[in-house]
Chain A
Amino acid sequence: MGEATFRDAHRTAEAIARHSYGKLVAYLAARNRDVAAAEDALSDAFAAALVEWPRSGCPQKPEAWLLTVARRRLIDGTRRRIAGEQVADDVRDIVAASGCAEESEIPDQRLALMFACTHPSIDVAIRAPLMLQTVLGLDAARIASAFLVSPTTMGKRLVRAKEKIRSAGIPMQIPTRDELPARLADVLDAIYAAYAEGWNDHAATDTPRRQLADEALFLGHILVELAFDEPESLGLLALMLHIEARRRARRSAAGEYVPFDEQDPACWDAVMISAAETLLRRAAELGVMGRYQIEAALQSAHVHRRRCGVANWDDVVNLYDALLRFSPSPVVAINRALAIGECDGASAALAAMPDAAQDGRLIEYQPYWAARASLLARTGAHADAHHAYEMAIGLESDPAVRAFLQRRLRRIQM
């Protein structure tokens, strides 16, 4: 076999694995909801392709080729599993469903697969990993290292979740109109959870986790492609693109943590920001507000302020007010208080901070102490600020952020 043919076959297979994996799995699993069997059949088909394609050249319709082989494996599997008369019916069904020889005719059921993976009866913690595996084909070991659990544990949880889709009869379909908003929110939350897992300051030096952010962005793109008229899908992708655009700017050349207001806007990715803005405008035209659109709008407002040098803190506070209505959380309340600090001063901000006496979780929450520390320092309450900085430093696990907080603490000690 020629070296070129071999490389060509591998490149084609890789491209399909990257871009169409979820589409093929969703199609294969749609009939009997057996995601695990669909994945196995598809990986057999890929293995067969890597033997066959270099020998006889890439087929004209590689996706259809893979589906045909995978379906044959599935039929064999079904034959083994079911005895008696039902076999004939099953085989007939599968053969009837295999009518679509044209690649463009392979229906894209990835969205239905996403809804199955984020079904309310699936454990919240496994929804994001499950989507990464079934829609993008990530292996358990890679997902495990990104989510900081052992590959064996992650593997077992994924197997259990797929087993539940099949045995509990979780449908692979797009929910009805009245159920759609709530169910879509679960899909969005799982994608954002994957993104957040890959996006924090540790992730800057941690390859599997950083790649996870890219995979989450890819999921976000797929979702927008499939559900383009859902304002919150657009909002989520806009939000992730905004955050992603500033990834490089969050560290100095020496690896030091750089807070947003000290970042150089020239280091931001202008293409991503402009794509995010376009998405956000399209979402706004649809006229239904939601959590992710507001969060993206907040990012947009911050970027605008830094780029144009125009203080827009009143707008920012208004957006946080709106966000609090959609997703009331201490995190939002803290950020809102910091924005109030820019409008009305540090004392007003401290008054607007959530109260640790009311919500005990705040005691262990680093951003709470970091926010209090910077506000107290501004009011001149140096002893209290000192204590708050020490709490924030003690709770921080990222060395770069810890060093940053220590520099701030030294500043008030001078």
Chain B
Amino acid sequence: MQYLFLLYADEKGWDQMTADQRKQGEASYTAYTNALREAKIYLGSNRLRPVGDATTVTMQTGQSRVLDGPYADTKEQLGGYYLVDLPDLDSAIAWANRCPGAHHGTIEVRPVWTM
């Protein structure tokens, strides 16, 4: 089954880090990504630019409405994702636990809708 890990964390945490801490943080994500590849369960991942760079678009009212900022203003923001292929939810939870994002934020584990 495919699962998407949505990584939520307070973006301000990154701003407050020293250059050294940032380097360390990046290294831990790289190590995690490599471990996923090594285990042959990695399908994809990306880090997202801060919500300040977000634009929200909807056509629900019949005409295009474009707004500056994220869909929802929350204390923790979506900052990245991993797409992985795993046999079941327990193995997904085990891998989400290992993700560095779980230590400074929260990970939402979502099964991908199979058609």
Residues 14-51 of B contacting A (Cβ, < 8 Å): none
Residues 59-115 of B contacting A (Cβ, < 8 Å): 86-92, 111
Residues of B within 8 A of A119 (CB): 89
Residue B54 interfacial (CB < 8 Å): no
A109 CB to nearest B CB, Å: 15
Q: Which residue of B3, B87, B111 contacts A171 across the interface (Cβ within 8 Å)? A: B87
User: Which of A162-170, A228-236, A353-361 binds B?
Assistant: A162-170
A interface secondary structure, majority? loop
Residue B1 interfacial (CB < 8 Å): yes
Residues of A within 8 A of B92 (CB): 169
Chain B residues with a Cβ closer than 8 Å to the other chain, count: 10
Residue of B nearest to A179 (CB): B90
Residues of B within 8 A of A169 (CB): 1, 3, 86-89, 92, 111
- CA–CA, A167 and B87, complex, Å: 12
A325 CB to nearest B CB, Å: 27
Residues of A within 8 A of B3 (CB): 169
Residues of A within 8 A of B111 (CB): 167-169
- CA–CA, A168 and B112, complex, Å: 9
A172 CB to nearest B CB, Å: 9
Residues of A within 8 A of B91 (CB): 171
Residue of B nearest to A171 (CB): B88
Could you give, for residues 382-409 of chain A, a 1 whenever the CB lies within 8 Å of some chain B CB and a 0 otherwise?
Answer: 0000000000000000000000000000
- CA–CA, A167 and B89, complex, Å: 10
- CA–CA, A171 and B111, complex, Å: 13
Residue A155 interfacial (CB < 8 Å): no
Residue of B nearest to A115 (CB): B90
Interface centre among B3, B88, B89, B111 (most CB of A within 10 A): B89
Residues of B within 8 A of A121 (CB): 89
Residues of B within 8 A of A171 (CB): 87-91
Residues of A within 8 A of B89 (CB): 119, 121, 168-171
Residue of A nearest to B110 (CB): A168
Could you give, for residues 148-169 of chain A, a 1 whenever the CB lies within 8 Å of some chain B CB and a 0 otherwise?
Answer: 0000000000000000000111
Residues of A within 8 A of B88 (CB): 169-171
- CA–CA, A179 and B89, complex, Å: 14
Could you give, for residues 117-143 of chain A, a 1 whenever the CB lies within 8 Å of some chain B CB and a 0 otherwise?
Answer: 001010000000000000000000000
B83 CB to nearest A CB, Å: 15
- CA–CA, A169 and B110, complex, Å: 10
B2 CB to nearest A CB, Å: 10
A253 CB to nearest B CB, Å: 53
Residue of A nearest to B90 (CB): A171
- CA–CA, A168 and B92, complex, Å: 10
13 examples of A-B residue contacts, CB within 8 angstroms: A119-B89, A121-B89, A168-B89, A168-B111, A169-B1, A169-B86, A169-B89, A169-B111, A170-B90, A171-B88, A171-B91, A175-B90, A179-B90
Given contacts A169-B88, A169-B92, A169-B111, 12 further A-B contacts (CB under 8 A): A119-B89, A121-B89, A168-B89, A168-B111, A169-B1, A169-B87, A170-B88, A171-B88, A171-B89, A171-B91, A173-B90, A179-B90
Which 3 residue pairs spanning A and B have beta carbons closest together?
A171-B88, A169-B1, A169-B88
